[in-house]
Each structure stands twice: as structure tokens, then as C-alpha cells.
Chain A
């Protein structure tokens, strides 16, 4: 059974640009959550999608947005990139919202120059 797949693995952008990250959950999993991981703040929850609806949202500015498609694949978009957005972005899937454990992808490492 394939795991959670995140693309791309690495990305370099400059300030002011925007970026879209992709996450394909485990087959049969309908909940997808996104996290930002930095050395200073650790792993922080961004948002969760279930059945194409945002179920929960963390304390991040509106520049961070996401969506989920009918096949449960999810995308995360960050607009007007700032230096502080440099981080490892992790996606996790679970069978349904609120169920555990969540299964994580290997993440997308985003570097802002």
C-alpha cells in the first residue's frame, strides 16, 4: 500500500512569490492535514481537510490556504512568500477526520531566498 506522497520534495522560491504544494494521501484515507515544521517553533498545525471541506484551521495568516479534491488529494498554497516561511511542510492522512494515527509524508522542504 503506497504511503502519503508529497511533491515536490524540495523547492526554492524568492520573497513575494507564491507556491503550491501537493499531497496524495494513502488510498482510502479521506482526511488530510498540513503542518509546518521549523527549528524554532517545532511542528505546527496549519489546517485539515475532510471530504473537500476545511474542518479545522491553525493560527496562520490568510496567505496560507488549501483545498482538497474529490479524490482526497490536497494542495496547499502560500502567497506572498516571506523569509520566515522557510520550513519543512508535512502532510498527513487518516481514514477520517479526528481518527488516529495520522500517517505522514516525507514533506516538502521550502527555502525562501
Chain B
């Protein structure tokens, strides 16, 4: 089963509209990361959240980690065509061996129509 669930899978909005992408885990999140990916390219780091209730903003993008640290949301205000891409959340999980690895949700494809 997928360790991180993202919703929605895809999103089409009109330029200027606000939108929210969610990332949910069944386990406590110790580190939650948001990345953006253009098709066929690498991931661009957006933000990292570690504390319950933490909220960070960069330009028109705001990410929050809920108090129970099992869900994060990414909010874009007044979307622009440059925001289009695939947004992925990633989280640190503990492996059976006790080390950490980074797992990802399947991504949310965002299209912004001018």
C-alpha cells in the first residue's frame, strides 16, 4: 500500500485561482517535504516541515503540517501558469533496519489555464 496518499491526483484551475493539495500518512511524519517536478525532469525542493503545526511560505506557496503530524497541505494563492507541474510530498520513514528512507506520494498534476 502507498505510505503517502496525495489528493487530488490532478487539478486544473484557471489562472488567479487558489488551490490546495493534500498529503496524508497513516503514520506520524517526522519530516515532510514538498517538491515540484516538471515533466521528465528532476524534483525541485520547495519546503521542509518538521514540527506539528509548522507553516512555511515561499512566494505564493504555503505548506502546513498538522498538529498530529499525519497530514500536510500545500496551498497556492493566485495561481499562475508557472505553477504548473507535478507536486510531490515526501516523508522520512523508519525502515525495519532502523535507518531512514525517503518515500513519496504519487504526485498531484497541476494545470493552470491562462
Contacts and interface: CB of A to CB of B under 8 A. Distances in A.
Interface of A: 4, 6, 33, 35, 42-45, 48, 55-56, 58, 88, 90, 92, 97-98, 100-107, 109
Contact of A42 (B41, B100, B104): B104
B101 A109 contact: no
B2, B44, B102: most-surrounded residue (chain A CB, <10 A):
B102
Nearest to A39: B106
A45 B42 contact: no
B42 A98 contact: no
Contacts of B41: 106-107
Nearest to A109: B40
A98 B107 CA distance: 22
Given A100-B31, A100-B92, A101-B48, A45 B102 contact: yes
Interface of A is mostly: strand
A58 B101 contact: yes
Contacts of A104: 35, 42-45
B107 A42 contact: yes
Given A42-B107, A43-B88, A56-B97, A102 B42 contact: no
B99 interface: yes
Given A43-B88, A100-B33, A101-B33, A33 B43 contact: no
27 contacts: A6-B42, A33-B102, A35-B104, A42-B104, A42-B105, A43-B88, A43-B104, A44-B104, A48-B101, A55-B99, A56-B97, A88-B40, A90-B42, A98-B92, A100-B31, A100-B33, A100-B48, A100-B92, A101-B45, A101-B48, A102-B45, A104-B43, A104-B45, A105-B42, A107-B40, A107-B41, A107-B42
